[in-house]
Amino acid sequence: MVRCVEIIKVMDMDTPVLTTRVAWSVKDWAAAVSVSRVTVYRLVRANAIRSKLMGRKRLILTTPEEYVDGLTTTVVGEDQE
């Protein structure tokens, strides 16, 4: 399972702070789900994942965890009816 938590260092603190990521770059999201950037753009066009444009940058709002949890598994050789 993909963990959507980052450790960041705050300048005035010695202790790292855990934060939950709310938006992902296409490159980072693709790496987290182990797919290509092209696949990410196809998922965006198919409305399979949520995204927003910020200027020229596309931010993915669906976490990799949400996407992977939503996938269904199919057993190879299982009858498709």
User: Can you give the pLDDT at residue 1?
Assistant: 45
pLDDT in tens, 21-79: 889 999 999 999 999 999 999 999 999 999 999 999 999 999 998 898 888 654 555 55
User: Can you give the pLDDT at residue 59?
Assistant: 95
Reply yes or no on whether the pLDDT at 2 is more than 60.
no
User: Can you give the pLDDT at residue 17?
Assistant: 54
Residue 4 contacts residue 64 (beta carbons within 8 Å) = yes
pLDDT in tens, 4-19: 555 555 555 555 555 6
